[in-house]
Amino acid sequence: MAHSLYGSLYDNYDTLADGTPYSVEFVQLETILELRRRVLAPGKPAVFTEDCWLTTLHVAVFPPKRARALFSDRPVCCASFVLTDQVEGTPYYQLRGMATDPTWQRRGLGSRLLAWTEKHFRDWMMSTLQTPTVYFWCNARVSAVPFYEKQGWRYVGDIFDIPDVGPHRRMDQYVLVTGDAR
Say which residue, 137 or 2, is predicted with more confidence.
137
Least Cα distance to 105 among 127, 83, 77 occurs for 77
* pLDDT top residue among 50 and 88: 50
Residue 54 has pLDDT above 70, yes or no: yes
Judge whether residue 70 has pLDDT over 50: yes
DSSP designation for 64 = B
Reported as a pLDDT band with limits 50, 70 and 90, residue 17 is: confident
* Burial tier of 27 (Cβ tally within 10 Å: 0-12, 13-18, 19+): middle
* Confidence at 2, pLDDT banded by 50, 70, 90: very low
Could you tell me the end-to-end alpha-carbon distance of the chain, in angstroms, rounded to an integer? 28
The predicted pLDDT at position 165 comes to 84
Q: Using CA atoms, how far apart are residues 105 and 100, in angstroms rounded to an integer?
A: 6
Q: Are 144 and 170 in contact (CB under 8 A)?
A: no
Segment 116-143 shows an average pLDDT of 81
Give residue 126's pLDDT band: very low, low, confident or very high (50, 70, 90). Answer: low
What is the average pLDDT across 114-129?
Answer: 79
Judged against a pLDDT cut of 90, whether residue 150 lies above it is answered with yes
Q: Going by C-beta distance under 8 Å and a sequence separation of 6 or more, which residues neighbour residue 54?
A: none
What is the residue type of 56?
T
Closest to 100 measured CA to CA, from 147, 134, 166: 147
The residue ranking higher by pLDDT, 74 or 66, is 74
Contacting residues for 115 by C-beta, under 8 A, at least 6 apart: 151
- 6 near 26, Cβ under 8 Å? yes
Q: Span 66-91, mean pLDDT?
A: 79
In this predicted structure, the answer to whether residue 12 has a pLDDT above a threshold of 70 is no
Give domain limits for the chain. Answer: 9-176
- Residue 115 CA: distances (Å) to CA of 12, 34, 36, 159: 12, 23, 20, 26
Residue 144 has pLDDT above 50, yes or no: yes
CB 113 within 8 A of CB 79: yes
In terms of Cβ atoms closer than 10 Å to its own Cβ (0-12, 13-18, 19+), residue 159 is exposed
Average pLDDT for 72-92: 87
What kind of fold does domain 9-176 have according to CATH? Aminopeptidase (3.40.630)
Tell me, what's the pLDDT at 86? Answer: 80
> Is 97 exposed, middle or buried, given 0-12, 13-18 or 19+ CB atoms closer than 10 A?
buried
The residue ranking higher by pLDDT, 119 or 178, is 119
- Mean pLDDT score of the chain: 82
